[in-house]
Structure 1
Amino acid sequence: MKISETQVLIIGGGPAGISCAIWLKKLGVDCVLLEASAQLGGLQTRSPYENLWIPGVQGKTGQQVAASLADHAAAVGVDVRLKCPVISVDGRQVTTAMSVFTAPYLVIATGSQPRTGGFTASDRIIIGPGVGMEALEVKGKRVAIFGGGDNAFDQARFARDRGAKVTIFSRNMPRAQTLLQALIPEVGVVVGDYAADQNAMTVNGEPFDAFGIMFGFEAMAPTGLTLELDNGYVRVDRFGETSLPGVYACGEATDYWHPCVTTSAAHGIQVAKQISIKLQSYSSKSVN
């Protein structure tokens, strides 16, 4: 199989990976962006909700934000390979089903995935927020939401608004924003240990029609890379470099800042700039 060479190889086409690729392109650095799915945008492609947290962007759903990011990448000519999941990584050599790539710099922008907490997804057990929960028929049904963070309370509110009878189960005191908790005062919140049976669809012996699993997220990392982790996320220094020299990570794979589209994009830009500085330094040394 032919090996293709580039200066920077980016794995993952969410906000961090796209922003990194756009800036590298504008900085004159050759890069290839590999995305496993059929579209760019990462977790935003799963969000049918208006994203109210991006400064200067109003009235757009997460899915529309994803489309805008993809349009921007296309407009500047980023080399994007869709439906190109990474099979393995060996040093700086990355193997996909169709090609083998090599580059002196590798950027892990694979984002995060919902934690399962031991649950198995089904037509009645939805893991993580977004389109799966929205597709669930909940009117008049009993829905148990597991978790105490923002997503748990957000998804409880959305399910309530669609006619569900919702109960939130959180092993610890909820950490969701006070504002989000205040929006659903009538929703019961059970704090403490609980016994959930996903086969019988019961919690503490009480029957439910559906479960929503909102235990937060954890990093997705390509097979073959042995990276230092921090609570399930890739550990990076202040420049975005991992424990492996020349291998960077950005966005929600790192949990470096509060994870959201804006901080992920900024982190991708930071990594792009740092790599471009290193490439320029190497080029200057070679000339001298």
Structure 2
Amino acid sequence: MNTAFPLFTNFPDDDAFETIVIGGGPAGCACALWLHKLGVRAWLVEASDALGGLQRRSPYENLWIPGVMGHSGEEVARALHHHIHVIGVPCHLNSRVSRIEAADGGFRVRVEGGTERGHYRTQHLVIATGTQPVTGHFRQAHNVAIGPGYPMENLEVGNRKIAILGGGDNAFDQARFVLQRGAKSVTIYSRTPPRAQTVLQAMIPQARVCIGPYTADQASMIVNEEVFDAFGVMYGFEAQLPDGLDQDLELKNENGFIAVNRQGETVLSGLWACGEVTDYWHPCVTTSAAHGIQVAKQISLRLGR
């Protein structure tokens, strides 16, 4: 994404905060925005060069956000970035959290990258690092796309045989886009009955759907003894946790996402999580933003605002 915005910071004079939010997707941006508006001394830290999270990967119009029409996911991401900048939320980009430790009734966070590298103290810490596509045993290549959006759009599909691996909404959505872009044929492989919405399945009757065990080999581009020109790997998403999060802490649920209570707090007091990293029901832009707002409000109440 080519941003026209500065790598803004509005950084304070010392290294102490009331809240640090890690992750600048819809959940992290909403949380940091509300904290800022509620008068909480907060800092948003993002590892990439722009805000917006997974929406930055999407060139498609997002019709699921109430009141927002005619805008692609990438444009939604740009709007988030612009909003945080204009409101003046303290934020730093290209900054990775490499260590998190409990200290002094709060947390000590090691940030690397950019100009603000060092240790910072905070009373409350919010993890909003979202998810990333599951790779399985595959690797991104010129003929293998992992996850929906630009990886698939950059795949050459015209007059080619394409295999889509996975049976969820994204698998059928991407199969439809591939057919629209002129693929010779599309075969969807799903080990179990497809989980995709029936309306999505009905939109591509010309696609072949194979249900049951399959073996896919990237080196030979073969699935169950049939050769394909390209693969689209749609195995869903997994939690993307900060590098510095202590893996010995029992923060994750059985699916590998961060477990939180109804308020969005983990088993550690003052450590919160919001958005898709928490594995809540039906994650999307709107629910992620709402979750970030709920966590911000809880923190402000805890601080007596």
Q: Same fold (TM over 0.5)?
A: yes
Distance in 2 separating the partners of 1:257 and 1:9: 25
Aligned-residue offset at 1:99: 2.4
Distance in 2 separating the partners of 1:93 and 1:230: 27
Instruction: Give CA-to-partner distance per residue, 1:88-121, whole Å, 9 cap, x none.
Output: 2122111122222210100000000011122222
Paired position in structure 2 for 1:130: 149
Question: Which of 49, 61, 85 is residue 74 of structure 1 equivalent to?
Answer: 85
Runs (5+) with no aligned partner, structure 2: 1-12
1:248 partnered with 2:263: no
Paired position in structure 1 for 2:178: 159
Matched to 1:190, the amino acid is C
Question: Which of 204, 209, 218 is residue 224 of structure 2 equivalent to?
Answer: 204
Task: Determine helix, strand or coil for the equivalent of 1:50.
Answer: coil
Matched to 1:39, the amino acid is A
Distance in 2 separating the partners of 1:90 and 1:31: 18
Question: Which of 40, 65, 71 is residue 60 of structure 1 equivalent to?
Answer: 71
1:195 partnered with 2:215: yes
Aligned-residue offset at 1:3: 7.3
1:96 partnered with 2:111: yes
CA contact (8 A) 1:3 1:99 kept: no
Matched to 2:66, the amino acid is P
CA contact (8 A) 1:228 1:243 kept: no
CA contact (8 A) 2:144 2:155 kept: no
Aligned-residue offset at 1:229: 2.3
Distance in 2 separating the partners of 1:144 and 1:257: 29
| Mapping 1:126-275, distance limit 5 Å | 126-164=145-183, 165-222=185-242, 223-225=244-246, 226=249, 227-275=251-299
Structure number having the greater helix percentage: 1
Task: Determine helix, strand or coil for the equivalent of 1:132.
Answer: helix
Aligned-residue offset at 1:280: 0.6
Matched to 1:57, the amino acid is V
Task: Determine helix, strand or coil for the equivalent of 1:215.
Answer: coil
Task: Determine helix, strand or coil for the equivalent of 1:199.
Answer: coil
Task: Determine helix, strand or coil for the equivalent of 1:6.
Answer: strand
Instruction: Give CA-to-partner distance per residue, 1:210-256, whole Å, 9 cap, x none.
Output: 11110110111113333222412111100000122211000010122
Question: Which of 261, 274, 277 is residue 301 of structure 2 equivalent to?
Answer: 277
Distance in 2 separating the partners of 1:224 and 1:76: 29
- Higher mean Cα deviation, 161-170 or 68-77? 68-77
Would you identify which runs of 4 or more consecutive aligned residues in structure 1 move more than 6 Å? none
Distance in 2 separating the partners of 1:260 and 1:70: 18
How many residues align structurally?
A: 280
Instruction: Give CA-to-partner distance per residue, 1:61-82, whole Å, 9 cap, x none.
Output: 0000011111111121101100
